[in-house]
Chain A
Amino acid sequence: MSAPLQSRQQILKRIRAATLDCAQDPAMRAEAYAALPRTYTCHGQLSAEDRLQLMIQRLREYDAEVVETTPAALPSTIKAQLAASGRHCFVAPEGLPVEWLAEGFDWKIDRNLATAEIEQTEGVVTAASCGIADSGTIVLHHSADEGRRVLSLLPDWHLIILRASQVVETLPEYFAHCQQPPVLITWISGPSATADIEMTRIKGVHGPRFLQVILVRDESLTAKNDEEMNPDQRPAETGSTKVR
């Protein structure tokens, strides 16, 4: 038996010996797991509108810029935001809807772009999988319209298109949606930051220094406005989430 295998066996043997008093067989373990106390808040209490307002407020507290728009006005809003950024060269995931690629800018579409090429761009536009209002968190599952992880990392300016129907109030509501855990996830709460020097929060270290969010007030929300939200009947997030 080789040395690495020996260590594996040795460690597992020690663990088994150490947990003789408590380790359970698979059936009992599943039962014990299911019985763990979960009395924390799972479902939010806010109305749809309040939930969106909370999301916007939290994002702004993180120093992210937020603008609201309608589905019809989305392409022009994107164009206006790109122009207002004063930047010209943007990178986009391959699955980004073509109508989002505003004219008059230099677009690089990610078909396996080299890192150096992504590093050259000034900004990135992506979709998102979910927004969590309670903590102002935006979740990327890195599907076709959210792009590879490196895409939303190297450019200094990140524009996220978040649909209002994707916004949940609490973190457990997000997890309730992930029936199949995605293989890649990035939870983003504001632009890159540090507080390592005297606990002063400084925006922008290695990730994008500027986080811009367009919140699209899509129709499913208006229809459901102020109804009691039942998480099981909510529309799924992006359909193309990578799952194994």
Chain B
Amino acid sequence: MSQTASSHAELDPCKALPFPMAVLPVLRNPLLRKNVAHAIDVIQAKRGKLVAEKTDWQELRAAASAIRAHALENLGAYLEQFEERCTVAGGTVHWAADADEARRIILDLLRQEKASEVIKIKTMTSAEIQLNPFLEANGVSAFETDLAEIILQLGEQEPSHIVVPALHVNRSQVREIFARRMGLKNLSDDPKELTNAARTYLRQKFLSIPTAISGANFLIAETGSVAVVESEGNGRMCLTLPRTMITLAGIEKVLPRFQDLEVMLQLLARSATGERMNPYTSLWTGVTAGDGPQSFHVVLLDNGRSSILAKPRQRQTLKCIRCAACMNACPVYRQTGGHAYGSVYPGPIGAILTPQLMRMKYARSLPYASSLCGACYEVCPVKINIPEVLLELRAQVVNQERREGDRLFDPMYMGLRIANLLFSRAWLFHAAQRLGRIGLGLFTRKDGWIHSLPSIGAKWTQTRDLRGLPDESFHEWWAKRPQPDEEAL
């Protein structure tokens, strides 16, 4: 019996456990940790090699960062330009203020098409708005077509990474899922055979289901075009074969000009999968007579993004091009995988994006899910200073919490209030030192260390020893010290 690597985490930030609790099942699951570490090591090695060969990597990062920042600073104008050009080219642009509105727009479009089935290209944005369960509840079956997404959909699991969503599942687990759900008893665990099984499983769906949903990697304001970056060709199938195509895109995905892709495409594949270029990138503009879907809709999703835009230091969060380099580089993610983040956006970018999308009402433990080592900032192709945003969000969490009534007797905030009092008055500080010396002296062993403390003090001594207080403080020593001797100088 193989141990299941899935903890089947809930990826709704409103319901998710705080990060320190959510990681516990993962830390006790050696198979899951092994799967994650293996995948991360492979991607990191490939990325490192390909980034090193690119002599203008830093110049590309600088350009990408500046282009994304400029696009966000002028987001209103560029979105309107995109809308105008896309409409001229035969597309229809819809605007969704929140997840609920986006889901309803998409369902209405599907109902107009009388669609009971829809094929999907991997889109994290649709996972963000929890589109699949909503469609299912309204009588539309959504079929994921990306291999990793099929593994998750058939295995009833949640994504744990934004580029390789099933990286926590190994080949024998994939074999088990496919054998069970596709009725293939004699399937081996050879990745080639598994991939072929997926190809066969989907072929008829591609050829027969006339409606598709995609995300977008980039929206081009200048031309009204949409670009999708992929590997398998499932994207091309969904973009080419159906009658009707619906693209769901966050409002931040816009680039000013077509030429900006020369920067983004050089950075994205290298950062994401460690390839010089991903196998397929598709760009289309509205509707083209005789080629591809003849009905095309773009749903522009806000869902909290404009509120992130309003804060200049946090605005950079929206520069993200979803390459996942930050999670691959993150020492925390490497140990925990993605599910513990309780959001479809895990890793360092998730730790800053999710709480902001939730307007700091949920996912408030995530800004702490980091050692602030800065590896994420170093690899980010658009130079998002993630540690800076993490610190900013931590400050906001603290400011929120200390005003909350039920935190009045929270030991940490109580301790900090007392510390505030003590540190601001010298006589109180010295008195506290003397008291502390007496109090802690009871627990200090002969070796000068405190090995265990009662009550909340145990939270410290459970995992580490504490130095006992010295017999004399620096202040006391200073006051008593022999006066400087002229001769000694």
Contacts and interface: CB of A to CB of B under 8 A. Distances in A.
Nearest to A147: B291
Contact of B241 (A23, A115, A137, A190): A115
Contact of B279 (A153, A172, A191): A191
Nearest to A110: B290
B331 to A, nearest CB: 19
B352 to A, nearest CB: 17
Which of A15, A21, A33, A244 is packed against the most chain B CB atoms within 10 Å?
A15
Interface stretch (B4-12, B52-60, B428-436): B52-60
B184 to A, nearest CB: 15
Contact of A149 (B60, B192, B236): B236
A179 to B, nearest CB: 10
A200 B46 CA distance: 12
Contact of B278 (A7, A19, A21, A189): A189
B171 A181 contact: no
B354 interface: no
Interface string A5-21: 00110111011111101
Interface residues of A, number: 75
Contacts of A29: 74, 77
Interface string B280-319: 1111111010111000000010100011011010000000
A184 B56 CA distance: 29
B76 A23 contact: yes
A11 B145 contact: no
A199 interface: yes
Contact of B309 (A18, A32, A37, A183): A18
Which of B74, B222, B257 is packed against the most chain A CB atoms within 10 Å?
B74
Sorting the interface of chain B by its residue count into under 10, 10 to 19, 20 to 34 or 35 or more gives 35 or more
A196 B74 contact: no
Contact of B223 (A8, A24, A181, A208): A181
A171 B54 CA distance: 13
A230 interface: no
A174 interface: yes
A193 B258 contact: no
Contact of B291 (A37, A149, A197, A207): A149
Contacts of B275: 189
Given A187-B280, A198-B38, 12 more contacts: A7-B96, A7-B97, A11-B251, A11-B302, A23-B76, A26-B77, A183-B225, A198-B35, A202-B191, A206-B203, A206-B234, A207-B232
14 contacts: A14-B306, A15-B306, A19-B75, A22-B312, A33-B257, A36-B63, A38-B263, A40-B263, A195-B231, A197-B171, A198-B38, A200-B191, A206-B145, A206-B202
